[in-house]
Amino acid sequence: MNQPVVLVTGATGFIGRNLVPLLESRGYRVRRALRAGRTGENDVVVGSIESPLSWDAALAGVDAVVHLAARVHHPNDERAAELYDAVNAQGTMQLAQAAARAGVSTFVFLSTILVNGSSTDGRGPFTPDDAVVPRGVYGRSKAAAEAALQSLASQSEMRVAVVRPPLVYGREALGNFRHLVGAIRRRIPLPLGLVDNKRAFISVQNLASFVAHLIALPVAPPYRIFLVADDEQISTTAFVRRIGQAMNRTAILLPVPSGVLTFALQAIRPELRHSLVGSMEIDPSAALSTGWTPPLSMTQGLRLAVGTSS
């Protein structure tokens, strides 16, 4: 019996390095699409996604595509939106159109919860059916890609699954999670002791598990959006304490009133105001309705993320 072939873009990135071995352990033949530096017999070099590419050779015999590659960080200049659009929207559609022509059955697109918006303060959890209110140039570029993919799914035989995760944490995570781990390790006091919000998080292992689960689904609608998270949604304060517990350290949390912290962040680092003080709740019922459940608890995921397994 032939092994089903899955093409993975962004395979050498944080999420890809967790997804590829999981897919291989489940019997898939993974073809990694690389920008350069071919290292394995199943790798294919495609170049930079923002450039016009021919995907025909990479897609030959492929059953499913998992598109993880994206521009996440950008130069702080007037071309930021253009650069994001070139990779996250135009690059995605170039690949998806080629996949549909090649007869690929399933296309999984890793998007972001920022397509829904920046905060759930004063409202219920985000759902897949919400009108999109994308946050920042990154969120807008992902929203544009989603809209184009929905149109393509309605005109082809390829089913498209869009996954919008919240903050993804793990051993090699960057961004806010890495900064929090570093602060706890160096015993730097954090002004987060009184933050009373509720946020969704997901371990990289749980996210990889859900993506692998989507590929294996025998029947699915032509286009569907999924919001995924760990089995708990907790406050920033509680999350930082959980990180400390996983590290066998006590996080030093200063009791700064949320209003004072919000005012200070708005003046100094406004991009952190929502991610640290605001709520970001999601409704994962669509994902759970497929029969998937997170294989790891948040406690287990955090222990793997910071290097302890007991």
What order of strands is seen across the sheet that includes strand 5-9? 44-45, 29-34, 5-9, 64-67, 106-110, 159-164, 223-227
d(CA 64, CA 18): 17
Distances (CA, A) of 243 to 170, 194, 230, 233, 291: 11, 17, 14, 14, 29
The residue type of 303 is: R
Instruction: For residue 306, give both structure tokens.
Output: 């910071």
Active-site annotation holder among 28, 84, 138, 169:
138
Report which of 235, 246, 116 is spatially closest to residue 170, judged by C-alpha positions. Answer: 246
Whether 84 is a known active-site residue: answer no
Alpha-helical regions (H) of 85-203:
92-101, 136-155, 175-185
Report which of 218, 226, 100, 216 is spatially closest to residue 153, judged by C-alpha positions. Answer: 100
d(CA 183, CA 200): 21
What is the biggest distance separating any 2 CA atoms in the chain, rounded to whole angstroms? 63
- Residues with catalytic function: 138
